[in-house]
Each structure stands twice: as C-alpha cells, then as structure tokens.
Chain A
C-alpha cells in the first residue's frame, strides 16, 4: 500500500470537471441515476457496506449515522441534510479543494444522500471565507438545476430536492455539527447539548443528517465501485481513501488523496518531498491542530484511524502539519492555545475561561517569567478542561498543548530555567501575531489583550497586563 490512490479526485487533475459536461464525460451523475432506481434502504446498506467513516474529524461511520434517522414515513417532520463545508481546523484545506476542483461530486453526493434519507431540503454550510469556492459551487448547482439533476422531479424519478448553499461568516466553532445547525438557524453558532442528537432533532428541530463535504462527495464513488468494493480500499476499520492536507515545513504542500493506511512517511517524504530547506523533522501533527503531536520516531505510523490512535493521537481532519527543528514548541503551544481561545464560543465555562487562562500561562512561560509550578498548573488546567466541556473545542485546546508538554517537556523546562526562549529569537514562530493579540475593535471593555504594539515582533511575549 503506497502512493496516491485517487478515486474522489480521480479526474480532477486532467479534466475541468467543474463543468457539468466534463463531469458527465467521466461518468458523473451516473451514480445518481443508479441511486434513484434503488430503494432508500439499499442505498444506506451500500454506505454501511463501504465502511466509510466521517471525513470531518470525528470519524463516525456514515452509514450508521444515516440509519439513526427516522424514515420519512415515521415522522411528521421534514428531514434535512446538512453538509458541513465549514472547514476550519487549522491545517485542513481538502474540502476547499474538493469544491474547487470537483464541485459536481459534492452536488451529486448531496442528491444521493438526500434521496437515501428522504430529505426534501439540503443545506450546504460553506465557510464564509471560501468565497471563490462558494461561487464555483453555486455555478455547479445552477448547471445541475438547469439539467434537472436538482430541483423538482429529479430525472423523472418523482424525487424532489431543494439545495441551499449557506455561507458562514467566520467562526471555527460552526464546524461543530450542532453549532452549525444553530448558525444555519440564524443564531450565534454555539453548540447545543446532546441529546437530542441531530438525527432526531436537528435543523429546525427536525431529523437531520450532517456530514462533511468529503464524505458526501465520496458517495458517488461508493456507488460507482459498489459499497463492498470501496470497502476493500484502505485497511480494517478505515475503509477507502482520504484527501490528506499536507502543510508546514515541507517541500510540496498540498492535498493528496491516499488510501487509508498509507504510512505517514510516504505522504511527507515521497509525495511531500520531505522537510523543506534541508531541516530536520521535529514533530508532526497528524490530524489538524487539535490533536496530540507525533515525534519523528513515529513517522512510519500508517495513516488510519486505529494506527494513529495507537500512536497516541487522532486522524482528525486528515491535516498533516510538518514541523521542523526551527520551531519552539512553547511558541507552538501558545499559538495553538490562542487559536482556541479566539474560537471558543463562550457558552460553557471550562472552555471559555480555561482557554484564556491557558494562553495567559503559556505567555508567561514563553517569556521566561514563569515559575516551575506554573508549568504544572498549565497541565492541571488542561486536565481540568478535558472532558468537562459542552463540545469538543475545549478538549481540542487542552489535548495538543498537554501533548507538547509531555513530549517536549525539556523545552518548556528550559524556558523556565533559562528565563526565556532557548531559540533566542530564531524560532520560526517567534513573535507571531495572533488575532487574539490584535486590537479588538468591537470590545469597548478593557481587556487584557495588548494593544497594537510599537514593535509587533514582541507580540507573543507580552504578558497579561
């Protein structure tokens, strides 16, 4: 098992499949035609047989999720499909690529999934920043509509579907499924407590299936190959391919569709061209910034759910961030914590207060002003956030930071012992200015964020005032 295996992005490299005619030339919408001739349950059985797990981050089996919904005849309420295109996990840019280069696969997948669950309305929640991709998607949808592939009585099947593309407005948390629903309902995107689960009471309190772009866009492929055949791709418990987003200190960053189970080394070295600038590999984040970090000795870990979990991390969104030896891990921890502080929705206490406290402590450690017990305090704060929050965001802040301390403790220790950063200003993340450190225009309150700095290079060093 090695090398790229393109099934989802198979044709996107050679053809402009953003155009309906080109997409159809390579077999586009054939799966939809087949699906419309099948029973709903048969389709769900195909999804189950394929073993496909959610590509958003949590990795929940898609077929099982779909089977949790009541059948249309069992509920008086309308059923909805919500597609999560709010890709925001740092390091992840695969959904953007899928929409950019293969939007019809998503549209086709949406119609197939909607038909399978009996939804008459589907919403694609695309992050607001993806403006170009939004235009591409809307154009593809228009084309599909004009050809009777979306809308009323699709291809004469009697099945009708309305698809609305809904743009987000800049909030990482809306990638969390219930926050996405809140946002789609016109509210602040704060997660709901579960139960009730969206399959029972989701959008407008109606049964709702929520899946990631990649998951939905893979459905036509699954039907083309057949669920069982698709299931043979990849390894046990991790069927199929995934589009991995490779970034950081690597020669060829980009998206690579690989069979699950491909070793991390293949992605980084063979496809990515290895660590850039001839530097040494220091660490790898295998699944987006919210997951624990891996060390160079773990580079042969296969990229599948179980193997990565065994290595102490998570496959997450499939975003692989390569970190070379120029990076100060304390600064990395600070920057990651700042991100989660910035994105914390403010609903539950441990996340709202805890992420902010983490940043305060990390700033102090980074600046060399912290005492020994503040390093222990940091770990304890992480521990006090973990498992106490309403949604996974708090954990997403605590887990990586705790892992950096666990695996690079000596580097944290040196900041305390030496009273400053051992990189002496040469770290790649030195002085990086995060949005939480930027001047907050719409908060009139006095907050402890440093105001615009005379010398922005010291931004990361300013302790709370």
Chain B
C-alpha cells in the first residue's frame, strides 16, 4: 500500500499535517488541541453528529460544523471554541442544553469522578443554570438486566449504547424508543438486555445513566486501584483493567488492545469474578491423611511429598492439563515430567499443530478479509466470544462470512467440518459447496476459523489453507477450547525433545497423576486416572471428586490472582498480572521449588520475554506441508427422530456458577428445531416438549430456528446431559 496522502489543516492557527480523511477530532488532538465530544466514538461506527458538543467554525462555511463529522481536507481552516467566539457560543449553548434536564446528583452518582460530562462541564460549562422548570424525571433506577442499571434522567441520548448494540455486537436489543424529548433507551417489553457483550454499554456511557449493578455504590474513584491484566476465561485473551478496592476485585473494565479486542469484553470476562471470594475455595496446601481427610501442610513438606510421589512413579507420571495453567507453570511441569522423569504421558486439552503458525495473524486482520470461512459446529460466540465481534466487523467491512454448520449459511449435518475442509481442499465439491469453493479460490484474503474441538489439532484447517495457497493477507484462526491450551501445548512440546505425546494407558495402575486445574478435574477421564494412580497431585480452586482422590492439593489461583503468561488463540503471549492476593500460596512458587528438587531451574516469577502491557504477536512460521488425517464421517441425520447437536455455552462453568447475576445469561432450557420440523410436529415457539433418548429425557421449550438443518435438534450442553446422539421429540403430555 502506498503512503497515505498528507494534507495540511489549520486548527486554531496551528498548521497540522495528517493523512487526508483523518477525523477532525483526531487531527486537532494530534496538535494537542482538545475538541470535546460525547456521542463521538469511532469504535462504534461512523460519526453521528448528534450531541453537537464538538461544534467548530470552519472557514468558508456559514454555520458551525460538528467536528466529529469532518475529515481533514487540504487547506481546511478550523477554529475551535478556544479561538472562535461563534464556536464558543455554540459549545456553551450545547452544554446548557445537555445539562438542562440532567440531574446534578454527582455526589451519589457512580460515574462521579470518572464522568466525561462532569469533566467537560467543569472545563467548559456554565457555572449556573437558567433552567427554572422541574427537570424531567423517570422511575429510577431501571434494571435493564440483572447486570446493568439505567438511570434515565441522567441519559443525554448520545446513542452510544444503542449504536454498540446495533452496530458492534449486532444484538439489536438495546434501542431508543419514542421520539424527541420523550426518547428513552430501553429493551423490548422490559425483557432483560441478554447478550454476550451487554456490559460494554456501561463503559461507553459518557454519563452515569448505564451503570454496572455489581459496582453500584461500591467504591469512589479515589479509593480504587487499577491493575492491567488479561482475561483468563477464554482463548481470546481480552486485555482488561481490574479495579480493586481494599484487596478485592470490584470491577473489570476493558483495556483496548486494537489487535485483540478493540476494547470490548464479554459479560463473562467482565462480571464473572464472584468465584474469587467464594467460601468453598481450597485455601490451603493440603495433604490427604488416611481416614482423616485432609490436613494443612507447609510448602516444604508439600514439595517433599510431591518429589517423593513423582520419583516413585518414574516414567509412569501422567499430566492432565486443564488449559488454564500459565505458560510458566506448564513449562515447569513439562520439564519435570518430560525432561527429568522421562514420561510423555499427558492429557492435553488440545494439541494444535505447529504448522498452523504459518497462518498466524492478529484477530484485527479479520476486518480486512474478503472471505471468512467458519467451520465447526460450535457457535463462535460461545467458544471465543471476542472472535464473533471481529467476524461481524469483517462482514460490515464487506467480507463474505460463510458459516458451514447445521445452522450456518451453508447447512450441513453435525460433525461435518473435517469432511468439508477435505472436500474444499481437494476441490471435489458439490451442492452449496461449489459456490463456496469458487468464492474461496477467487479471493486473495481469506480467513479460516475453526470452531469446535478438533482431534486433528488443526491439521484439516492447515491442509485447506495450504491447498488454497493462502498466503500473506490470509489467516487461520483455530479456536482452542481453553484459555491457554495453545501455550500449554507449546510448553509441553518444547520439553519433549521431539518425542510425541503418549496417551495414558487405558488400564492398570499408574505411578502418579498431576492435575493442573479445575477444568481437568471435571474430565471423567481424569477421574478414571486418579482412581488408578498411586500418587495424585492436584491444583484446584474447588473440591471435586478428583480433588478428593488427591494426595496433595494445591490451592489454585484464578487468573486475577496470579502473575504469568498465557498464549491466546492467535498465538500471542500475554501477561496476566496479579490484581488481588489469592487465598493460597503461589502455584508457580510450588512448581519452582519442586523443579529445583529435580535439578531444574525454574524462576518463581514470570520471566517470559516479549510480553508487555500490549503484547505483540510473534512473526509467522514458515509454511510447511500438512497432511491431514482422513476425516471421520459426519453424524447421521435420522429419517425419524433427530440428530442431537450440543454446544458448550460461554455462560456456563464454575465462574458463572459463582456469579448469580449472570444466571439470566445462561442458555435457556430450549431445544432448537428447524421451522419445517416444528411445523410437521405442530409445535410453536415456547411449546413444551420432551426430548429423550435411551431412557433419559429432558423437558425443554421449543425454539424455532429458521436457519437450522432439518432433522437436527440443537440444545445447549447444560440442558442435554445424558442425551445420546439421536433423540426423540414429543409434545409434553
């Protein structure tokens, strides 16, 4: 790309050179001139020009102009309120109108102290009001969801929140109602604002109208501290600011990383910190004592126990990683087990192949794609919420988004992803795929997004990328299931000296088992191993069956309680910072001590190079030829009955369990059916049905999904426990 044309603009007498088309607010700011704004927020779409706070005088134009809607053109002469009496008059007029009905309840408003309206009024506003009529009042506050409160009289109708809802998250749930001075922000019929990214509106609101219920009246800005960190709840790794007060997390805000999250975080990342202060956490280092349960041990004894248990096991040590461990902890464990004990036995949450790194790209690259091909049955928004926002941004920027799954733009039976990838790679396609194949081959910038558990570790995706000849400008985003699954796989691989991972033996005693975190304790395979292990050491935040089988229990730390590095789905190592002290000892200190016993030097604090406050993405690896395994066949869509399709909802799991305010975000007890299937069965949306298979049955409500493939019943995993691959559906008697 050629360098952008530079133009010269004069703002308040100062000549400024900027690329042509730069917004006037940014142009002025580049010379240190502030043009105050309320509605302007470039991340939520084109400028609106609604609040009029940024009125400026532009030479040659008779009327004042909203600076936010102007772009730099050569020779433009702009005067802000600082220099132009006309603009100053305009700005004063606007601020008077904005404040006309705005209550002066700053002392008990949560926004007070960090409020743009308060700040701009202080800097530019009138000291008095000429409003002699009672201000507009509303019922207050209105919960627009269990997470967000709305104080309507504070609202200045900048439409930031509704533009976010419509134009960024595209959930279409938070809207303006009525007209003129009676306009209000609302949801449909007082239903809660139920969407993955709803909490962002509390940050976008430039006044105290939309506030977080959890943070309401909890702290004043001068009592809090902010710690930069990275969300540890999914593989996107959104950057965050963690607000703490008196050693407790009271709020999580976004910390804009333009390549990763653009300043948006999902409601799980924002609100799911209730588990940190949960009563039932494992708070101490514990050792199991026969018949007496657990007793507390000191660090030295614990390390000695672990050393003994592992040395006894030798090369019969199995590691069950959770996918939440930091790179440092995973590195320490891997080096002990593979390097010293010589065991290659592990259960990894995922094993992405190294070849994928040849198509590594920042998530923000999605926006410049021509085509995004999304393969896999798990909704992207459930598996890696932030990626969904990037895909929407890509579509708005003109990309074709092709989703191939049972509810996609191309509908295929469940479990077809590998087969589709293989077909597209070979070019042997039929039906809807002919058009997909054409579009893919004609485009020069293609992203492949893989959104389901993939035993091939991305081999199918890589093979397709390779077959399509995807190069510079294209990308593959293989979505891991766990927050640091990719980093852990890398650490494990690095310690293995080229040896392949071995699956744990299917039966017989094993020497020792290391369980890395709570997610692993929930895995039935891990429980089976624990029952057969002579020595089990588990790191977990909460008790579980696996934990109770353990000989040594390390109190697990939540991502907000530890320092360490995690690698997100892009392959970007990012630093998590300890925002609050966890209840137990630092896990890394334990593993570092233990490694020392095995003669391995592991730093007790993170030393991983190359991660900063805004971490960069490592360069791409060289392209390699990829051989994908033969794809397994997709699920049968039965002639009668339904093929069951389940997905893991983002709003599920331990963190959500401990945050009651997030309950309403959990998937509803519903079964999604194709329109034709519902009609055939005489079922209307909301009708109660019984979904059953092999003697297990669940009562669910019908949801008609006009995009779902016929013969498929889609149910969130939370509501599908015990159901088999094929189910019967009947109206509830």
Contact = CB atoms under 8 A, between A and B. Distances in A.
Q: Would A and B touch once assembled, by the CB under 8 A criterion?
A: yes
Contact of B134 (A193, A344, A352, A465): A465
A384 B48 CA distance: 20
Interface in A360-415: 360, 374, 377, 384-385, 387-390
B180 A193 contact: no
A354 interface: yes
Contacts of B132: 374
A384 B50 contact: no
B187 to A, nearest CB: 13
A188 to B, nearest CB: 7
A345 B179 contact: yes
Contacts of A349: 50-53, 94, 97-98, 156-157
A353 B179 contact: no
A190 to B, nearest CB: 8
A347 B101 CA distance: 16
Contacts of A350: 52, 93-94, 97
A344 B50 CA distance: 13
A353 B98 contact: yes
A143 interface: no
Contacts of A346: 157, 176, 178-183
A464 B183 contact: no
A445 B49 contact: no
B464 interface: no
Given A357-B131, A446-B137, A448-B134, A348 B180 contact: no
Contacts of B28: none
Interface string B551-594: 00000000000000000000000000000000000000000000
A13 interface: no
Q: Counting chain B CB atoms within 10 Å of each CB, which of A195, A346, A390 scores highest?
A: A346
B152 interface: yes
B182 A447 contact: yes
Interface string B45-83: 001111111010000000110100100000000000000
Nearest to B178: A443
Contacts of A389: 52
Contact of A193 (B47, B55, B64, B131): B47
B50 A348 contact: yes
Interface residues of B, number: 43
A343 interface: yes
Contacts of B183: 346, 352
A171 B139 CA distance: 27
Given A193-B48, A348-B50, A355 B181 contact: yes
B52 A348 contact: yes
B179 A388 contact: no
A166 interface: no
A340 to B, nearest CB: 9
Given A349-B51, A350-B52, A353-B101, A442 B157 contact: no
A188 B176 contact: yes
Given A360-B133, A446-B137, A390 B178 contact: no
Interface in A442-462: 442-448
A249 interface: no
Given A347-B50, A390-B52, A445-B152, A352 B181 contact: yes
Given A348-B51, A348-B52, A445-B139, A377 B66 contact: no
Contacts of B439: none
Contacts of A354: 97
A40 interface: no
Secondary structure dominating the interface of A: loop
Interface string B387-400: 00000000000000
Contact of A388 (B47, B55, B100): B55
A139 to B, nearest CB: 32
Interface string A295-321: 000000000000000000000000000
A348 B156 contact: no
A442 B182 CA distance: 10
Given A348-B51, A388-B52, A445 B96 contact: no
B63 A344 contact: no
B228 interface: no
Interface in B129-147: 130-134, 136-139
Interface string B87-114: 0011001101110110000000000000
B48 to A, nearest CB: 7
A445 B135 CA distance: 13
B184 interface: yes
Given A345-B179, A346-B180, A445-B139, A388 B131 contact: no
A6 interface: no
A347 B133 CA distance: 22
A265 interface: no
A331 interface: no
Interface in B216-262: none
A387 B64 contact: yes
A384 B96 contact: yes
B155 to A, nearest CB: 11
Contact of A446 (B64, B138, B180): B138
Contacts of A357: 97, 100, 131, 133
Interface in A99-151: none
Contacts of B133: 357, 360, 448, 464
A464 B132 CA distance: 10
A352 B52 contact: no
A71 interface: no
A407 to B, nearest CB: 24
B47 to A, nearest CB: 7
Given A346-B176, A352-B157, 14 more contacts: A188-B179, A193-B69, A341-B181, A344-B179, A348-B49, A349-B53, A354-B97, A357-B133, A384-B96, A384-B97, A388-B94, A440-B182, A445-B152, A447-B136
9 contacts: A188-B179, A195-B69, A344-B179, A356-B181, A357-B100, A388-B93, A388-B94, A389-B52, A443-B182
